[in-house]
Structure 1
Amino acid sequence: MNFKKWASILFAMMLLVSLLSAVGGPTTQAADNSVTLYYKKGFANPYIHYRQADGNWTAAPGVKMADAEVSGYAKTTINIGSSSQLEAVFNNGTGTWDNNGSKNYFFKTGTSTYVPGANNAPGTITSGAPSDTITPTPDPTTPPPSDNFGPVDWSKRSIYFIMTDRFDNGDTSNDNYGGFNSNKSQPIQWHGGDFQGIINRLDYIKNMGFTAIWITPVTMQKSVAAYHGYHTYDFYSVDGHLGNMAKFQELVKTAHSKNIAVMLDVVVNHTGDFMPGNGTAKAPFDKTDWYHNAGEITQNDYNSNNQSRIENGDVANLDDLKQENPAVATELKNWGKWIIQQSNVDGLRVDTAKHVPKWFLKDFDTAVNTFTIGEVFHGDPVYVGDYSNYLDAVLDFPMYYTMRDVFAKDGSMNLIKERYAQDSRYKNPNLNGTFLDNHDVKRFLNEATGKPGANSDKWPQLKAALGFLLTSRGIPIVYQGTEQGFNGGDDPANREDMKFDTNNELYKYIAKVNAIRNSHPALQNGSQKEKWVDNTFYAYQRSSGTDEVVVLINNSWSNETRTIPNLDNFGNGTVLKNQMGTDSVTVNGGSINVTLGPKEVKILTK
């Protein structure tokens, strides 16, 4: 054996270990002489540039800090060898530095927490880990708080849809949570709306006649542009911009006290866009084999109705969950049960449902044991309707397209007749979620053509559409801002910050129609029979027990007179009063003769 050769190799290995210790690279576990540093996120993706005592600096910008187990913090552990302290500065990876006014920061061995100063002022260092440690993942079987509100019959409800971040800022202390600062000048960033803001405005909603709210997802996000809530990072944490679980519970409880049911938006199709180059979602959703990793869905996939790609590919590069992995399916179902039990919400709106396997939607619906309504963004009732066999209901996108064409673009009322002819495709059309617009499409007033010769006069078209929406079959859903005349185009222009003018003509109109709806079971979930249809005029009768209501809609820009025949359950001489005005009409031989002004809606009752 060549002892000199082996001695040389051993000496070289010892020297290499010594050199590596001198460099002091980050480690995942603390050594005997190491610094563990928590960084409260001022920079969303912080880097630490450091050296031990008077040693060599890391190459700029330094080392990217990983997310800590404490929400809103990053963390790193650095072995400093024989040094007594670590000298460091921080930056955002693109040239913005925090260096204590060129004095740098110094950290002793052990654990420290660094909190950046406001407005680029020097930060503060405290000994130990952050005090607001993260709550462990709760047991899905934990009993929920209860206020004995439910169960809810959703067929009788009308829904006001809230994008929480764009609604009302009731607590400015959470505006910059996690280093993702609110900035109203940027339409794709957080704007400050929160649970407290909704609580503060529940009477605004109640006085408009709505009996339910649907709010966007509440799960923890991890991006300055994830204000909408659809890019989940941590399923088991509430995003701090909105509040916390206690405040969410308060919102639900307060809504219930005002007879307002709460529907929560949930996403079981995907997380945020993390893999492969931006880390992972929070455990347990941090495993590569929990995702399809099949690349983005292309326009050709949609055009060819490639359902395999639609279900297994990434929507807008968002990491697509692999429900056929039993661990994923189980965790999603457990989470769904947990969020309901913790918050006491009354139903779930299931986002991107057409991208989720139908068998899993059925399993999820069974597991959560509450009302579910799925978003199936498609115009064909054959395609959309089948999802109502796996969830309790679907959002009625086919009817959305029809109402847009009829009311916003002065189309033929016969299109409504043709749309209703497809109602057999749905398990229960009275549970279809009907809407004029939402946060994913242009506002109704953006699409509306306006009055011929006076194109800016669009509110009569919106009023006619709202009259139909709030009195016809299905669960009507009105998107926040409709009552204020918002007219934004494509996302993000259709996600305006709210105004709360209760004197607005549209606010009062919605309140009036909703008040009539709430007084008549026939308008909530009664049967519906078409009584007249032509290009510009539509009439239908709704019935529930002894309650009978006749709705008349003139979709033209001129006065229209019609004789409406074959009314049910009205004897000769019955006087029907127009609940939208002061006029009335008398039934003669099962018929009524009526005249409606341009774009007028009349609601007739005994």
Structure 2
Amino acid sequence: MFKRFIKGLVIPFFLLSGFPAVHAGAEKKEENRSWQDESMYFIMVDRFHNGDSSNDFEADPKNPKAYHGGDLKGITDKLDYIQDMGFTSIWLTPVFDNEEGGYHGYWIRDFKNVDENFGTLEDFKTLVKEAHKRDMKVMLDFVVNHTGYKHPWVNDPDKKDWFHEKKDIANWQNQEEVENGWLFGLPDLNTENPETKAFLIDAAKWWITETDIDGYRLDTVRHVPKAFWEEFSKEVKSVKSDFFLMGEVWDKDPQYVAGYTEAGLDSVVDYPFFEDASKVFSNTGGTAGMLANVFKRNQILYKDPFVLGNFIDNHDNERFTRKALVNKQNPVTRIKMALTYMYAAPGMPIVYYGTEIAMDGGNDPDNRRMMNFRANDELIKYVSKLGKIRNEFPSLRRGEMEVLFDEKGMTIFKRTYEGETTVVAVNNTEESRTAVVPADALAENKELNGLLTGDRTEEKNEEYEFILDRETAEIYETVEKTGPNIPLISVFIAVPVLFAGFLYRNRRKRT
């Protein structure tokens, strides 16, 4: 009898306390995905994964300037690894046939052939198909500015007009020199020549038709006249209307960089963001509010600032890990801080292979080491969590941004989109920090649930208090304030009362 009584009390307790709170993202509707919703994993084909040793024709892993064996099959084999981290697209360095030593893909010998060290055209088609099966987009690096040093056209009398006069760039502020000079001695293609232009555009359209890729990252954009890009854009989009063009305009002047999106490009890799984010997060003390100002500037300069490619690492600069080490910082902690901001801020996050394991590396070619898949997975798990959060909350991909607090390395901002609000708090200092935000600047009568560390805060006295440990960041979802759980409290009160009554009744029966 006593057991039945206890069971009768315990069952309601579990029934009343066991209902989980409905997650704010549970009822979100599927949306039409656009490029601002993408998160991109950037791969140097030769340095990622060797999936087929039979094509290691020029491989010499001990030589940092030689092929190391990475290939297209290796990337296909690792698509699940990439997707499991939450990435929705991949960007590959050029796969075109390169001259000897062109492991990176930028010394092109044949614009319509796959480099034999990477595999075959069929291998590339398979990679694209497998990515598409996983609902992942594929962006390929495309080069129109130059060929490899020893390209057959260079010494072909019939192709003399296909190149600009051999001359180095002496004045980098002179646009004519920038566009016509031979970059690092590479033969500079004369894209003003109708035959040259027609060939390059035809090659670009051929790859789209042949392989069904989704976009190009266009190399050395500033070295090619804008008139070419305007025509190039129209032609490739005639093949695939939603084809994406993201240019590399390597310059610190945001207005100069933005000018190329007016010439037909959809987006650029945001070098000004890279410069600022590297400084802020490779050391403690910098304020993320400075980066929020970058977005304000981008809203003025760009028609669509949400599709700009944000990055902290790439194949042309020393790795973020090295910058943190030079500053005598823990690179894993610093990368977590930088990526949290990058994933939560407006723009498309691009993660260079190896960043997820805090790969070290100085300038080219040291920043292109072979990927290590046996590294500690602490950072991989963190990147995966960031990817999941960003994919789940549209406000982190599409929302407007407003800074709510920014003092001495502690920054809080919110993202809002169609009634959804997420809040991001960044403590980029070496001590615990507290920040108070008025409720009317955020949302009234809400709870904020931390998605990274599990932190939680709610409105009290018409304000929200945020307390963050040193060098941490948190992303909060905003949910309705639940208040006290009356049924559960009632059970806690009722159980001892009923139990006391049971004992009293049982004692009276005995007497």
1:191-590 aligned within 5 A:
191-223=68-100, 225-274=101-150, 279-280=152-153, 287-298=159-170, 301-302=171-172, 305-369=173-237, 370-390=243-263, 391-410=265-284, 411-423=286-298, 424-448=300-324, 455=328, 457-501=330-374, 503-565=376-438, 570-572=443-445, 574-588=446-460
Instruction: Give the Cα separation in 1 of the matches to 2:462 and 2:131.
Output: 43
Quick one: distance in 1 between partners of 2:155 and 2:126?
26
Amino acid across the alignment from 2:297:
Q
Distance 1:524 1:414, change over 3 A: closer
Distance apart, 1:373 and its partner CA? 0.4
Mapped partners of 2:48, 2:121: distance in 1: 19
1:460, CA displacement in angstroms? 1.4
The question of whether the paired residues in 1 share the 8 Å contact of 2:295 and 2:346 is answered with no
Q: For the residues of structure 1 that align with 2:231 and 2:438, how far apart are their CA atoms?
A: 47
- The equivalent residue for 1:596 is 468
Q: Quote the residue 1:29 is aligned against.
A: none
Q: Distance in 2 between matches of 1:314 and 1:567?
A: 57
Deviation of residue 500 (structure 1)? 1.5
Partner of 2:366: helix, strand, or coil? coil
Residue 433 and residue 242 in structure 1: after superposition, are their counterparts in 2 closer, same or farther (change >3 A)? same
Change in Cα spacing, 1:585 to 1:417, as seen in structure 2 (3 Å) is same
Q: Which amino acid aligns with 2:67?
A: W
Looking at structure 1, the residues matched to 306 and 439 of structure 2 have their Cα atoms a distance apart, in angstroms, of: 23
Is the CA contact 2:357–2:376 (under 8 Å) kept in the aligned structure 1? no
Residues 166 and 187 in structure 2, CA contact (< 8 A), matched pair in contact too: no
Alignment partners' CA distance in 1, 2:234 and 2:440: 41
| Counterpart contact for 1:162–1:213, Cα < 8 Å | yes
How far did residue 566 of structure 1 move?
5.8
- Work out the CA distance in 1 between the residues paired with 2:155 and 2:392: 47
CA distance in 1, matches of 2:72, 2:117: 9
8 Å contact 1:266–1:351 — kept in the other structure? yes
C-alpha distance in 2, partners of 1:384/1:588? 45
What's the CA shift string for 1:371-416, capped at 9, x where partnerless? 1000001111011111121211111000100001111133344432
Distance, in Å, in 2 between the alignment partners of 1:293 and 1:564 is 61
Cα distance in 2 for partners of 1:308, 1:477 equals 31
User: 1:593 Cα deviation (Å)?
Assistant: 0.7
1:74-89 aligned at under 5 Å gives the runs none
Give % identity: 38
Alpha-carbon shift at residue 347 of structure 1 (Å)? 0.8
- Give the 3-state SS of the residue equivalent to 1:160 in structure 2: strand
Q: Return the offset for 1:420.
A: 3.0
Task: Give the direction of change, closer, same or farther, for the CA distance of 1:393–1:456 in structure 2 (3 Å limit).
Answer: closer
Structure 1 residues 44-92: Cα deviation after superposition (integer angstroms, max 9, x where no partner): xxxxxxxxxxxxxxxxxxxxxxxxxxxxxxxxxxxxxxxxxxxxxxxxx
1:155 matched to which residue of 2?
36
Q: Tell me which residue corresponds to 2:502.
A: none
* Count of residue correspondences: 439
2: CA distance, partners of 1:567 / 1:248 = 53
Q: Deviation of residue 338 (structure 1)? A: 0.7
Tell which deviates more after alignment, 590-599 or 580-589: 580-589
1:330–1:282 distance in 2 versus 1, CA, 3 Å: farther
CA change 1:165–1:281 in 2 (3 A) is farther
Q: Work out the CA distance in 2 between the residues paired with 1:249 and 1:286.
A: 34
Paired AA for residue 268 in structure 2: V
SS of the aligned residue for 1:470 comes to helix
What does 1:169-208 correspond to in 2, within 5 Å? 169-176=50-57, 181-208=58-85
Q: Cα–Cα, structure 1 residues 575 and 378, in superposed 2: closer, same or farther, change >3 Å?
A: same
- Rounded to whole Å, the distance in 1 between the matches of 2:135 and 2:222 is 32
Q: Is the 8 A contact 2:333 2:471 kept in 1?
A: yes
Aligned residue number for residue 103 of structure 1: none
- Contact 2:289 2:406 (8 Å CA) reproduced: yes
Instruction: Give the conservation status (yes or no) of the 8 Å contact 1:578–1:603.
Output: yes
In structure 1, the residue matched to 2:8 is: none
1:537 CA displacement: 1.3
Q: Distance in 2 between matches of 1:172 and 1:293?
A: 41
| Matched-pair contact (CA < 8 Å) for 1:551–1:601 | yes
Task: Give the aligned residue type for 2:137.
Answer: A
| Contact 1:234/1:281 (<8 A) preserved | no
SS in 2 for 1:271: coil
Larger Rg: 1
SS at match of 2:471: coil
Do the aligned partners of residues 502 and 566 (structure 1) sit closer, same or farther apart at CA in structure 2, a change above 3 Å counting?
A: farther
User: Structure 2: 5+ residue runs without aligned partners?
Assistant: 1-31, 238-242, 480-511
| 2-structure distance, mates of 1:566, 1:215 | 45
What TM-score results when the alignment is normalised by the length of structure 2? Answer: 0.82
Shift of residue 543 of structure 1?
1.6
Decide whether aligned partners of structure 1 residues 524 and 501 sit closer, same or farther in structure 2, where only a CA change above 3 A counts.
farther
Q: Residues 187, 502 of structure 1: CA spacing in aligned structure 2 closer, same or farther, 3 A cutoff?
A: closer
- Residues 256, 590 of structure 1: alpha-carbon distance in 2 compared, 3 angstrom cutoff: farther
- Write out per-residue CA displacement over residues 340-378 of structure 1, whole angstroms, 9 at most, x where no aligned residue: 111111111000011111111111111111110000011
Partner of 1:9: none
The answer (yes or no) to whether the contact 1:553–1:601 under 8 Å persists in 2 is: yes
Q: Are 1:220 and 1:235, in contact at CA under 8 Å, matched by a contact in 2?
A: yes
Distance 1:562 1:392 in 2: 38
Are 1:532 and 1:540, in contact at CA under 8 Å, matched by a contact in 2?
Answer: yes
The Cα RMSD (Å) is 2.0
Q: Deviation per CA, 1:223-256: give whole Å up to 9, x if none.
A: 1x20010111111111111111111010000011
> Which residues of structure 1 form unaligned runs of 5+?
1-150
Q: Which has the higher contact order (CA 8 A, sep 6+)?
A: 2
Which of structure 1's runs of 4+ aligned residues deviate more than 4 A?
566-569
Give the 3-state SS of the residue equivalent to 1:494 in structure 2. Answer: helix
- Normalised to the residue count of structure 1, the TM-score between the two structures is 0.70
